[in-house]
Chains A and B, each alone.
Chain A
């Protein structure tokens, strides 16, 4: 197995094993995730792709009974070492969830939440961050006159773009998207996919998707998981046109999953 070598690797995962209690959820996973590109994790339900994603910002820490072996380095720093501050890590590695989860606050306060957490309180500065983030998430034009409205009044697709804006507001380097379009209608999905394409010039994006076609449409490299193992890892075009592994071929041609 070799990494597609057209860009520098930002995230290096080395022989990672993860257990939920006695369940061995990730088995000896190694890979390199390139900088400023979209990497997609595909595979059937329960294959460990979301679990791996959540190890990248240590959201698995909060699940009792999780045990991790191996190493994950982001920009060369081992994120599971004692010296790493989880809050700073999560600021640098943003996340968008499967269900749009804006806070029951105004649109403005949703985007400003992260910067405020990290100590920014100047009105002008916040205004600027809110506008830039909403523009980056392609939502500004739709909501600029309603910033004081509740975020819950937005449609599902708008809510998800708001969540992306909220994640971008703390200036992350990496953006994790955990099946971020699976609860959305096709048009909203398309918008988020276009957005991901624009964002990849500035951010390293890792997305988990149920939808192979989505991976094929938007990602630069694709990782195929099965039962907690990485089966195949290649540039997206290569993986879909000439899969090396029989199981990959079976999956992408719809024979299981």
Chain B
């Protein structure tokens, strides 16, 4: 037979028995807490999903009514946006949104990558400690402020430089958006570059690589997926941006066949017109459909980001 348990062992055994014999004992209480907590979590998660699908449903339901009066062909491919004459061709805005986003990324990506390389590889630590928080703060500046800067500084500058009378248009909007998304893209790229293991750099240096060669041939390729992730995040922001764009794009429904011609994009057109349309009109439905289109584009980009994140982990 085993020796009688020591006092300490007995105490341990007692403390392990969760049931204390009371009707609402420790075990029952714990089970109740666990169940309640789980239920709250599930409710929250379901709530978020409900919101998302409600938005999609509401926008889509109202937007789809457009097609009772306007054929999809006309909506997507006609450049005639004259609601007074019942003409609802949104091609100008769809094209404007894609052109603006593409132009923004074309300017923003190289600059952001250079900033990120500068931050992660070149800057002395004390300067880095100052610059990183500054960039993080820039992300939080309200977009209307960027719009003001574009209106009061950039557009007069563009008039002077190019000699046009207006200055509003894709170029002005793209520059303002670039300034807006630069901090986001460069900081996330900076993190991606910093996360590249030191051993890759060591290997390159040990083969006689210069810092320039090491950065562009080893570090940037190794950080590629993170940098692309940063780019898509910036792009999603640029596509949905409204205020800053409204203030510098000119808000004229004409096709942007020049960088300096006043035009309009999906967001700016919605916000300029939504306040003035009759509630149950095709015009209203068409604006909803444009909003729905933006929503779908953004969701697709987020899905793309998710997909890339997963790929990044595998690598």
Contacts and interface: CB of A to CB of B under 8 A. Distances in A.
Same complex origin of A and B: yes
B207 A103 contact: no
B202 A88 contact: no
B207 A113 contact: yes
B204 interface: yes
Given A87-B208, A114-B207, A103 B218 contact: yes
A190 interface: no
Interface in A77-109: 87-91, 94-95, 97, 99, 101-105
B69 interface: no
B71 to A, nearest CB: 50
Contact of B206 (A102, A103, A118, A167): A167
B121 to A, nearest CB: 12
A87 B210 contact: yes
B209 interface: yes
B213 interface: yes
Interface string B181-201: 000000000000000010110
A1 interface: no
Nearest to A89: B208
Interface string A113-127: 110111000000000
B203 A103 contact: yes
Nearest to A85: B208
A166 interface: yes
Nearest to A93: B206
A87 B315 CA distance: 30
A113 B204 contact: yes
Nearest to B197: A101
A37 interface: no
A187 interface: no
Contact of A90 (B200, B207, B218, B221): B207
Contact of A95 (B197, B206, B210, B315): B206
B217 interface: yes
B205 interface: yes
A103 B210 CA distance: 16
Given A97-B199, A103-B222, A88 B206 contact: no
A59 B207 contact: no
A158 interface: no
A182 to B, nearest CB: 14
Given A105-B221, A117-B217, A90 B208 contact: yes
A231 B212 CA distance: 41
B216 to A, nearest CB: 11
User: Counting chain A CB atoms within 10 Å of each CB, which of B199, B206, B213, B218 scores highest?
Assistant: B206
A102 B280 CA distance: 64
Nearest to B125: A64
A163 interface: yes
Contacts of B209: 87, 117
A220 interface: no
Contacts of A90: 205-208
A97 B208 contact: no
Nearest to B200: A103
A162 B303 CA distance: 37
Interface in A173-224: none
A62 interface: yes
Contacts of B221: 104-105
Contacts of A57: 206
B6 to A, nearest CB: 41
Contacts of B207: 90-91, 94, 113-114, 117, 166-167, 170
B229 to A, nearest CB: 16
Contact of A59 (B197, B200, B206, B218): B206
Contacts of A59: 202, 205-206
A94 B202 CA distance: 12
Interface in B150-199: 197, 199
A91 B222 contact: no
B219 to A, nearest CB: 10
A52 to B, nearest CB: 16
Interface in A230-255: none
Contacts of A117: 204, 207-209, 213, 217
A104 B222 contact: yes
A99 B197 CA distance: 12
Given A103-B222, A117-B217, A62 B199 contact: no
12 contacts: A62-B205, A87-B210, A90-B206, A90-B207, A91-B208, A97-B202, A101-B197, A101-B200, A102-B203, A118-B208, A167-B206, A170-B208
The 10 A-B pairs at the shortest CB distance, nearest first, are namely: A91-B208, A101-B199, A95-B206, A114-B207, A90-B208, A87-B208, A101-B203, A117-B209, A117-B213, A104-B222
